[in-house]
Chains A and B, each alone.
Chain A
Amino acid sequence: MNNILFLILRRMRLPIIAVIVSYTIAVAGMSLMPGVDPDGQPWRLSIFEAFYVISYTATTIGFGEVPFPYSTAQRMWMSFSIYLTVIPWFYAIGKIITLFQDPGLRQAFTTSRFAREVNHLMEPFYIVCGYGETGSLLVRALDKNEVRVVVIELEQERINELELEDYQFDIPNLCADAKLPETLLRAGLKNPMCQGVAALTNDDHANLAIAVAVKLISPELRVLGRAETEQTASNMASFGTDHIINPYTIFGDHLAMEVHAIGTYLLHEWLTGVPGESLKSPICPPIGKWIVCGYGRFGRSVVQNLELEHISTTIIEADPERTGCKTCIVGNGTEKETLQQAGVHEAVGIVAGTNDDINNLSIVMTAREMNPDLFVVLRKNKRFNAALFEHFKADITMEPSDIIAHECLANMISPLLAQFLSLVRLQTNVWANSLIQRLVETVGENVPETWAISITQENTPALFHMLAHEPVTLADILRNPNHREASLAIVPLMILRNHQPLLLPEADTALERGDRILFCGHDNAKSTTTYALSDFKTMRYMLHDQQLADSWLWRQIKRRKSANNVRT
């Protein structure tokens, strides 16, 4: 702010001096001009009176000739002063207006406002670099999950989009290059409330630069880096980027999960979705012979993962030498002949994974014509083609932005959730299905909220205090504070005690101080428990059905009453 003031003052020097000088000349001259008062005596304006007259003339207010009508000499001087003072005055006003329209000054204003907003954030927050498809999806989900976000984006257009979006929290945003460490510092990299940085720009090099800067400036912060090439990914890994998100690898992985454990996959999608959105119905990819068109980053990952599931694949690739594909059919996959050669009639599924949307659509349209029962996996590259993809209705559409956002969410909502999801991968499909069924029964078919609490003095003072005196079970804290016989629509997913995770704890599990619990449920239930666990009176009601009196007097009376009851 100080800098802006100095900038304005520096630029306003010349106009202000012009105003002062013109006033000086006009006022001095006015006070020297001879005049005649009504009695015929010679008379002159005093300096103050002259200043008064010039002031109202220069600002074009104009009260007329005071205190007496002027002499010719005074009028001549007055005419001269009007032109002398009005011009510098307008010059100064014009200068102020241009100054406020100056892009440099405006940038200075927005930057300082941004820095102030970030400084005033009193809750833990994440810095999201890049507000493209991925960034906007992630920011929306985080906002719904009540995680605060700071956004840095290079393009003003997207910043405008963000400002038009209806978020429940105010999201500080800056149009600047996140590659510059200065920008990251402004966004609160050194702020003690900053939890981590998500580098999600569509430029791998920029993401790399961001990850390096964060690891150098604040090594303790968590960095989520988007990396679309192997090279960037290994580079990021070399200096300890916490989560490297490669959408192609993740998609391949998920596809494999869908083939062998649809329940696990569904659970994963569900817990990392945007709360409130309805869940897509699950589609199980068939097992048999698959055709993969395009053996790039995407195709390779798909083939590897399908092979792990013992599914045989036939690859169609236009440029086998460059992509390093050993056994493949050369071609685009858009022509009938190539598809025929690959055996489209016997195949059960086809993956259109080239980096050209129109080619991908052409491949699957031709293939479906030849074999209507094909299971279609379609890769979408560009957002503006979304309408075409919606019309085609592929069984699975792979959208990099969606995958990255889900992956980020899993790590950003709570570290517990990421741990839970990795443990889920080790469980059986049956286990996952039963959990899904339980979730649907408790919270309905929409994506629920997932949150973690820790039993500490700061976060849940009431519960923390109670645990010193009596045992409290998980079921106790899930009672409805308005009606204790009923319980809230919450599913406890995991308890972490002394770094030992306990999956799906039973209702009668006794809690301990220092436990961290991962919950899943409706957002109403979330705010209710958060309040209840820190309020002594509510806790006492939930545990013992006792209404604690508000005032000291009532408490004394109650205590006496209960003492009497004991005596009789």
Chain B
Amino acid sequence: MNLEKVIFGFFILLALTLNFGFFIGDIDNPHHHHAYELYVAIVVNLIATVLKFGDRTHIGAIHLATSLVADLQLIAAAILWAAAGTNGDDPSVIVSVVSLSGGALLANITSVVLLIAETIQIKR
């Protein structure tokens, strides 16, 4: 067992699960989407991105790209929410935030699919 691989897989999966946790629920209901969950999702995504740095293989490059996409969308959601200020609970705001996180979710799913594909290739 390789500790590096454990940490790598852990963060990539955690990024996906947190992203999913934030995304799930009625799209316009602020009670279904917690700000701290988005916060943690962003942080975990950032860490996952950094862990993917420095891999020169083709699959490594795609890995990095998916993470960057997820980061971009989640940070955009956070900026939108923070910019709304006191109007943060408005359905119009929350809909945009959640839909952005939905986009990030797709990127995170791709990332996990890549991880699984890579794992299956290794026959040991």
Contacts and interface: CB of A to CB of B under 8 A. Distances in A.
Interface of A: 3, 6-7, 9-13, 16-17, 20-21, 23-24, 27-28, 46-48
Contacts of A47: 35-36, 39, 78, 82
A432 B47 CA distance: 79
Interface string B93-117: 0000000000000000000000000
A13 B82 contact: no
Given A20-B46, A47-B35, A47-B39, A13 B51 contact: yes
B52 to A, nearest CB: 9
Given A6-B56, A47-B82, A48-B82, A13 B50 contact: yes
Interface of B: 35-36, 39-40, 43, 46-47, 50-51, 53-54, 56, 78, 81-82
Contacts of A27: 39
A211 B39 CA distance: 63
B53 A13 contact: yes
A27 B56 CA distance: 33
Nearest to A20: B46
Contacts of A11: 54
A21 B7 CA distance: 15
A11 B50 CA distance: 11
Contact of A21 (B47, B56, B81, B82): B47
Contacts of B50: 13, 16-17, 20
Q: Is the interface of A mostly helix, strand, loop or mixed?
A: helix
A7 B39 contact: no
Given A47-B35, A47-B82, A48-B82, A9 B54 contact: yes
B54 A13 contact: yes
Contacts of B46: 20
A48 B47 contact: no
B10 to A, nearest CB: 13
B36 A28 contact: yes
Nearest to A7: B54
Contact of B53 (A10, A20, A23): A10
A47 B35 CA distance: 8
Given A3-B56, A6-B56, 8 more contacts: A6-B53, A6-B54, A9-B53, A13-B50, A21-B47, A28-B39, A46-B35, A47-B35
Contacts of B51: 13, 17
A9 B56 CA distance: 11
A24 B41 CA distance: 11
Nearest to B79: A48
Contacts of A48: 78, 81-82
B73 to A, nearest CB: 17
Contact of B47 (A3, A10, A17): A17
Nearest to A32: B36
A6 B46 CA distance: 17
